Structure 1
C-alpha cells in the first residue's frame, strides 16, 4: 500500500527540501488532509526519517540519510516472468513433521511466491522448474528428508484448462485486474481531459502517481503465477490491465518531462 508516509518520503526524495505548505498542497490531490500530513510529518521526524528547518514561522522538511535508505521503489516489470513452457509439470511433495512447522510454513510460502499451486494437500505444482531455488531453501532449513521433487506429463483425457482453475484461483486474480482497470482507466481519461483543457498538472503529482501505479500493479503481479499462454483463458484480462498501466505510466512520464 502506498501510505501517506511513503508519499512524503518520495516527495522529499524528488524535491529535496520542501515547505510544509507545498507538501500539503500536493498531497491534497491524493485526498490527504492537512491534519494527516502534519501528523505523518511529526511521526517521520520522531523516527528520524526527516528533519525540519524553520525560516520565521514557516517550516521545511528534508530527508535524513535514514529516510533515504528507507525508500524502496517498485517497478512492476521487474516482477514479470518468462512464460516459455515445455509441456511438463514440476511437482513438489512434502510430509514435514509438526516439530518443523516453521520450516514447513516457509517452504509453502516460498512455493506460492514462485507461482506454485496446490494440487492436493502437501502437493504443489508448477509448469516451470524452480527446483534449484527450492532445494536451496529445503537444505537451509534441514528438511531434505521430507521433501520430494518430480517432473511429469499430464496424460488424462481431460482438457488441462479445466484443471487449472482448481489449482490457481484465476477468478480472484481476474477481479484484481478488473479493479485496477476500472480505477485507473477512468482516472487516466479524466487526467487527459484536464490537460487538453489547459489545466496544469504538477510534475510532483505525476511523479507520485507513477509510484502509486507501480506499487498497486506490482502487488497484483507478485501473486500472479504467470501461467503459460496455453493454460490461460482466451483474452486473459491481465493484458488489458498491463496496457492501461503502461499507457498511464507513459502519460505521466511525458508530463514530468514537459516541466
Structure 2
C-alpha cells in the first residue's frame, strides 16, 4: 500500500491539493499518470478523500484516522521504559469473528506480541490507542486490559536467560533484524550515495530533495510498524534497530532542512 499511504500522507498535510501537483510529485517516483489517477479514484471511492472542487482533493475524517494509524507509532528507542508490561486478554466470540480478526491484526501492528492464544503483551503504554480501537470496534465486553511490573511465573525472559517466553520468539526478532540489515544495506549503498551531494549544491530543486525525503520516511515507518522496539535487556547483543532508526531519522531531518521555507514542498516537511 505504498503509493496509497504516501498520497494520503500528502493530502492530509494541506487543506486541499490539486491532482496535477500530486501527479508531478509521483511521476518523479516512477509512477504513471494513470496509476496515480487510479489510486486517487480508489481513495475517493473508499471515502478516504473527497473532491471539494474539480481536480482538487481533500482528506476526510476517515482518511485522517487511517493515516494516523499508519504514521503515529513513536520511536520508543528514544524513551525510558517504566518497567511495566501492558497486557490485553481477549475472548471475542465466533459471532464477531471479523472484529476479532481485525483487533488481533491491529494490536500486532501496534507492537503487541502473543504470549498465549488470546493473551497479548507489550512493554509500552499505548492504552489510549487501544481503548480507542476497542471503542471503535464495540468490543468492550470481550477485552480485559491490565498492566503489571511483576511476573510471578513465566514472564518474558531477558536476553540470555532461560524461560519459556523468549522475546525473540514472541516477536520473531530474527526476521525483524534481517529487515533492518536489508534496509541499512540499501541506505549505505544506494540511498546515501544519491543524496550525498545535496549539501554541496547551491542549485537544488526542492522537488528532488522532497522525493528522497518521502522515500526515506516510508522506509522509517515500515520499520516502525514491524519493530516492537523492546527495551534493551530483551534484545540480542547484535541488534541494530535503534542505531538504524536514529541514522535514518537524522538523514530525513537533514533532507527536510534542505527544503527552503518559500518552497511549495516545505509545508509537507515542517514540524
| TM-score of Structure 1 vs Structure 2, range by shorter chain | 0.5 to 0.7
The answer for unaligned runs of 5 or more in structure 2 is: 45-49, 161-165, 264-271
Correspondent of 1:250 among 246, 250, 253:
253
RMSD after superposition: 4.5
Alpha-carbon shift at residue 214 of structure 1 (Å): 1.6
CA distance in 1, matches of 2:235, 2:256: 32
Equivalent residue for 2:205?
A: 202
Q: Give the TM-score taking structure 2 as reference length.
A: 0.64
Equivalent residue for 2:177?
A: 174
Whether contact under 8 Å (1:76, 1:215) holds in the other structure is: no
Equivalent residue for 1:68?
A: 58
Whether contact under 8 Å (1:184, 1:244) holds in the other structure is: no
Equivalences, count: 239
Distance of aligned partners of 1:133 and 1:9 in 2 relative to their CA distance in 1, 3 Å threshold: closer
Secondary structure in 2 matching 1:215: helix
Q: Give the TM-score taking structure 1 as reference length.
A: 0.67
Map 1:1-259 → 2, pairs under 5 A = 1-3=1-3, 10=10, 29-32=28-31, 36-37=32-33, 40-41=36-37, 44=40, 49=51, 64=56, 67-69=57-59, 79-81=74-76, 82-86=79-83, 88-128=84-124, 134=130, 137=134, 140-144=138-142, 147=144, 149=146, 151=148, 152-153=150-151, 160-161=158-159, 163-185=166-188, 186-193=190-197, 196=200, 200-257=203-260
Whether contact under 8 Å (1:115, 1:225) holds in the other structure is: yes
| Structure number with bigger Rg | 1
Alpha-carbon shift at residue 84 of structure 1 (Å): 0.9
CA distance in 2, matches of 1:149, 1:9: 33
Distance of aligned partners of 1:125 and 1:159 in 2 relative to their CA distance in 1, 3 Å threshold: closer
Higher relative contact order (CA 8 A, sep 6+): 1
